[in-house]
Structure 1
C-alpha cells in the first residue's frame, strides 16, 4: 500500500497537539498532547494502538525538544516511512490566505506579518513550523488557516464602523476563527442530510472553551461571530465575548487597570468562569446548577440566551434557516445547552425532540428536532481530518 499518513501539528504557546492520520481510512494512528512546555513539569501524553502512555520531559523543555521526542517516538513505532506531509494549524492568516498552502519562506514571512493580529497564537504556530521543518526536512509542510474559510465574507459583514484607514493601513477588520471546524461540519451536513450545497442555509455553532457561530450560505461563510481576535462574539469558557468598548476605558481610567490586566480579565477571567465564579468547564457548571447554585444557573442562562440571539441574528444574512448544527465539546455533549437554546428559537419553527436530543451525546451524530421542524443536528467536528486531507492534497500536487 502506498504511503498515506499525515502528521498534524497544532502548536499553542505552551502546548503541542499532534496526530498521525491515515488519509485513506480517516483513522488516527497516533494522537497526543505535549503540555506545560517551557514550564517546570512538561510532558507528552499519547495514545497508540488503544493504549495511553506518558513521556516525561525535563523542566524548561520547549517545542523543539517536544518535537524531537515526538520524532523519536514516530520512528520507534515505525510510522515515519508512511508520512507524506506535515499539516500545521495556523490560527490567523489575515487577508493573505484564502485556502491552505504549502509553506515557503514567503508564507512564513506573511504569517509573521500577521502575528500582530494574533500575538498569542501565530508566534506559537511558527514555533511548531520551524521545529517541524528541522525534524522533518524532507517532508512537505502545509499551513491550514482558521481564518481562511471566512474570507468569503463581504465588506458589509467584516468591516467595523471605524475610520476606514484603520482597515486599509492596519488590517483591522473581522476575520473569524474555527474555520476548519465550521467548514467540516457544514460539508458533513450536506452529505448526511442530502442538502443542495448551492441552495442551503446553515448556521453552525462551534461550542467549547472557545465558541463561535457562522452563517453558511450555499457552502460559503457569509458572517461569523468572532472578529479581529477570538475574543469577539459569544460568551465563552473564560472570554467575555461582546462587551461595550467603553468598559475598557472605565477599567483603565477609573479602576486603574493596566492594558495587560484588562486583556487578562477579558480573555482569562470572564465568560462562564467569571459569572459562575466556579469554573470554565460547562460540565462542572451544569452539575452545580442542578444542585441549586444560583450563579452557575445564571452563567448557563446567559450563555444560552446570547447563543440563541446570535443564531437568530444570522437568519438575516441567510434569508432564513434550514439547518442548525451543534458541534465542539459543549455542542456535541451538552443536551441541556442544546435544549435551552432550541427552546428559545421556536419562532424560527425549531421544535426539539427530547429523546433524540438525549441520545445525541458522546460523539454520536444525530438530528435532534421533530420531523416537521427545520433541522437541528449534532455533528462531531474533526478539524484534524481537514488539516490532514488538505496537507495530503497539496503535497501530492507538487
Structure 2
C-alpha cells in the first residue's frame, strides 16, 4: 500500500509518501497552510501520483482513541472536543484531515495518535494521586506523548544495536525523544510502561521553551502572591520557560551550546539543568522497565547534539551505559555508539514518525477497505 502521510504541526504541514517497501519517495514541508489556502497542497498531490491511503498524525487521542482509527465525522467531532488539551496541534490536525478530505475524498483516511502508544500504561503508572472524584469527572490521567516516535525507536533501536542476548519480547528500552519538545519512555517488549509527559505535554524534561516538571506548590504560590497572573503563567510555562527562560537565548540547543562555549554563565546553567533532568528521568524510566538493555536517543537534539549524549552518559555508568566517543561524534544517522564491552547498548535512531504513521495506517486498513 502506498501511503500519503500528513503531519500537521503548529505552523507547518509535513508531507511524505511512503512506498509499500517503506521507502520515502516524496517529502515536503509547507509553511502556514490553512483551510482557505490549499493550492500548495493540491500542487503536491498533483506531483506524487496515485496513493492508496492517507495517514494523519494527531497529537492527542484522549481516552477514546488508543489505536489507529478510520476517519469519520464522529471521530473529527471528538478531536474538536480535545482542542484545549493540545491547543497548538489538535486543531491543526483536524484542519489537515478536512483539507485532504476535500481535495481527495476518494482516499481512505486513518488518524494515528501520539497518545495511543502509551495506552498500555498500568493504572498505577497513569493515575494521579488527586481526589478520585476529580479524576473520574474530568478524565485526569497520564496520557503521554511522542508515541509515534517512541514506537519507532522501540523497534529500530534494538535492531541497530543487534540485541540478541535478550528475547525481543522482553527487551527493555529507554527511548529519549529530544527536540523542541522532549520526553523519555520506558518500553518493555515494544509496549510503553512509563513516560515522562503527562496529562499535557508540559511535564517531564526541561524543553526548548516548556518548563517540564515543577513543584505545583511553587506555581500556586506565585499565583496566590499576585506577582504572576494566570494569563502570564499559562503563556510562560509553554513559551518562555525551559532552555529559553534559563539561558536568555531562543532555547534552541545550538544557540545554548554556542553561548555556553562563549562562557555565558546562564547558558552553562541551562545546559546543566537540562542534562540533570534528563539523567534523572532516564534513571526513573530504567527503574520502571525493570532494567535497561538499549538506550535510544532520537529527535533533533537526540540525533544531532553529541554533547548531550556525552554529558548524559557520563552520569549513567551505574546502569552500564558507556559511549565510544569517536562513534558518538561521527553519528549522523542510525548508529550504534556503544563503547566496547558496555553492558547497555546505546544507539542513535533517526526520527521517522512518517514511517510509523504509514505502518499504522496499513495495519488499520483491511484489504477490502483501501478504496
Give a deviation string over 1:346-382, Cα, whole Å, max 9, x none: 111222211111111x324223333233111111110
Q: Equivalent residue for 1:18?
A: 15
| 1:122 aligned onto 2:93 | no
Give a deviation string over 1:39-88, Cα, whole Å, max 9, x none: xxxxxxxxxxxxxxxxxxxxxxx51244343113321x2x23x2111111
CA distance in 2, matches of 1:112, 1:33: 24
| 1:365 aligned onto 2:335 | yes
Residue 15 of structure 1: how far off its partner (Å): 2.5
Give a deviation string over 1:79-132, Cα, whole Å, max 9, x none: 23x211111110001121121111122222322233332233212211111111
Task: Kindly report the root-mean-square deviation, in angstroms, between the aligned alpha carbons of the 2 structures.
Answer: 1.7
Q: Is the contact made by 2:323 and 2:337 (CA closer than 8 Å) also made in structure 1?
A: no
Q: Equivalent residue for 1:188?
A: 156
Distance 1:339 1:125, change over 3 A: same
> Relative contact order (alpha carbons < 8 A, sep ≥ 6): 1 or 2 greater?
2
Give 1:140-219 correspondences, 5 Å limit.
140-192=108-160, 193-195=162-164, 196-219=167-190
Residue 164 of structure 1: how far off its partner (Å): 1.3
SS at match of 1:130: helix
- For 1:74, which of 42, 45, 51 is the aligned residue? 45
Give a deviation string over 1:212-267, Cα, whole Å, max 9, x none: 00000121100000001110000000001001112322332324433221111010
CA distance in 2, matches of 1:243, 1:25: 41
Q: Is the contact made by 1:202 and 1:216 (CA closer than 8 Å) also made in structure 2?
A: yes
Q: Is the contact made by 1:368 and 1:378 (CA closer than 8 Å) also made in structure 2?
A: no
Aligned length: 365
Q: Equivalent residue for 2:345?
A: 375
Distance 1:66 1:373, change over 3 A: farther
| 1:32 aligned onto 2:28 | yes
CA distance in 2, matches of 1:284, 1:118: 27
Q: Which runs of 5+ in 2 are unaligned?
A: none
Structure 1 range deviating more: 175-184 or 112-121: 112-121
Distance 1:166 1:370, change over 3 A: farther
| 1:275 aligned onto 2:271 | no
Q: Which runs of 5+ in 1 are unaligned?
A: 38-61
Residue 396 of structure 1: how far off its partner (Å): 4.7
Q: Given the two structures, how large is their TM-score scaled by the length of structure 1?
A: 0.87
- For 1:8, which of 5, 18, 37 is the aligned residue? 5
SS at match of 2:199: coil
Residue 161 of structure 1: how far off its partner (Å): 0.9
Structure 1 range deviating more: 143-152 or 166-175: 166-175
CA distance in 2, matches of 1:86, 1:32: 15
Distance 1:300 1:320, change over 3 A: same
CA distance in 2, matches of 1:321, 1:394: 31
CA distance in 2, matches of 1:28, 1:167: 45
Q: Equivalent residue for 2:279?
A: 308
Q: Equivalent residue for 2:200?
A: 229
CA distance in 1, matches of 2:59, 2:284: 26
| 1:327 aligned onto 2:324 | no
Give a deviation string over 1:324-356, Cα, whole Å, max 9, x none: 111111111111100000000111122221111
CA distance in 2, matches of 1:349, 1:366: 15
Q: Given the two structures, how large is their TM-score scaled by the length of structure 2?
A: 0.93
CA distance in 1, matches of 2:25, 2:222: 46
SS at match of 1:63: coil
CA distance in 2, matches of 1:339, 1:63: 41
| 1:391 aligned onto 2:351 | no
